[in-house]
Amino acid sequence: MQLTGMLYGAKLLRHVGFPTAEVLGPEATETEIQGLIDRCGEVFVKPVFRGGVGKKGKSGLIGRAGDLKTALAEKERLYFAEHRHGNAFAKAQGVTFEGAVPAEHEVYFSITDSTVFRAPTMTITHMGGVAIEELDKAHVASIPFEALTGLKAFVVANALDDIGAPPEIISPLVQHLPKLWELVHHYGMTTLELNPIRMAPGPGGRLVPVACDFKGGFDRDDPRWERLGLPDHLFAADTSDFEHEINQLRTYQGQSDVYVINAEGTILAPTFGGGANSLVSEVLGQDAIISSDFGGNPPYDKMRAVAAICFKHWLPQTNVLFVIGGKSNNTDIYETFRAMADALREHVVEHGPTPLFVVIGRGGPNVVRGMGAFVDTLDALGLPYRVFGFDSAISEVVNYAQAVDRWMKGGGRRQIAARLGLDAGA
């Protein structure tokens, strides 16, 4: 789950006493907007997107206004703005008005779980306000730290000193940045990014770090995020009916992560394991209907429900049902395969047969028994199949599934339809 923008980001930061820019939401009155302009000189008008989507500034989706008329014009332009970045698409649902913060220095700061260091890692630069990947690495510090002891002030101080940060910004950052670890650690966050933090003059001329943009990621399986009292709709990004149904099945055991790659695809690939999912999604490309990870040893009832949803939405257009995963350590292959086979049989009983070629590749506990249960069902349904064991290279199994898909498109689907007694166009 991801959250972007200062509308709710400011509320989260106030939990730990971190200074933020003044923010008004979509419901702000003209009097309130004018008051913000009077106090801050000008306002930034930003669309509110659910979930996380980047590169809004470079797409011209941030307005700037020094008077009420311009602010309202920008509100009209951006209120229902649409934005696409990579595979992510989002439509705005309102705007925020954020008071300008005059500052000479801007800072980028983030805390994330690093797969390189296998530890929470602070990334910081005194050249914030831009995409961090565009900066010279000499100006960026990425420092892992112990989760048990947290982000200590000396870690921040040493990092800023190493990258040559201006001395006047070091002390204020050392005072405030460690607070952000409290937010990450106590509320189930996986990522927190502030860019920019503007170093605004405070009382007595001392600089104060002010957060002017917020991005956060949450582990939805960690109940600590619920302490924040955030409304559920914030994380209900634009999803298909299929994704919504699958996501309702999240339980304490087993994963049910899905993403529709191509609604016109022809290979339905329920995948087990994150590594297998990455490889399969990349190689299949637009042939794949979904990207999925159904690992985590799901119980029989959950796996049957997941499979039934997949079949309901996608089986009529599917050429290849590609059940694939690595060699499992703890997932009971018999339980998961028996559940999928039962769901397939129930779908055929209810909706009738469909021309389909099934490719299976898996390893792990009870794999032979599980494959036997699946194959018995496929034989009963009259469907062709090919089964690969744990000693087969997963990349070769993926290539085989693609070859079968090509054969199906080239006439194989008609042959199977005829064998099942269906119309050739089925």
pLDDT of residue 1: 67
Which of 266, 280, 281 has the alpha carbon at shortest distance from 408?
Answer: 266
The Cα–Cα gap between 134 and 301 comes to 48
Across the range 99-121, mean pLDDT stands at 90
201 plus 247 within the same structural domain: no
Q: Dump pLDDT digits (tens) for 13-56.
A: 999 999 999 999 999 999 999 999 999 999 999 998 765 555 66
Q: Which residue has the higher pLDDT, 4 or 142?
A: 142
**For residue 45, what are the domain limits?**
21-100
330 plus 361 within the same structural domain: yes
63 plus 89 within the same structural domain: yes
Q: Which two tokens stand for residue 292?
A: 């999925």
Q: What is the CATH number of the domain that holds 318?
A: 3.40.50.261
150 plus 265 within the same structural domain: no
195 plus 280 within the same structural domain: no
Q: What is the CATH number of the domain that holds 219?
A: 3.30.470.20
Domain boundary among 236, 262, 282: 236
pLDDT of residue 303: 92
Domain boundary among 59, 84, 100: 100
Domain boundary among 212, 236, 260: 236
119 plus 206 within the same structural domain: yes
223 plus 267 within the same structural domain: no
Q: What is the CATH number of the domain that holds 75?
A: 3.30.1490.20
| Total-model pTM | 0.61
Q: Dump pLDDT digits (tens) for 222-262.
A: 778 778 887 766 665 545 677 667 776 654 444 556 778 88
**How many domains does the chain divide into?**
3
List, in order, residues 6 or more apart from 391 with CB less than 8 Å away.
Answer: 363
205 pLDDT higher than 70? yes
Strand order in the sheet with 23-24: 23-24, 95-99, 43-47, 63-65
289 plus 397 within the same structural domain: yes
Residue 320's beta-bridge partner residues?
267, 357
Q: Which two tokens stand for residue 95?
A: 């705007």
Residue 9 lies in a domain: no
308 plus 406 within the same structural domain: yes
pLDDT of residue 187: 87
Q: Which residue has the higher pLDDT, 17 or 117?
A: 17
186 plus 275 within the same structural domain: no
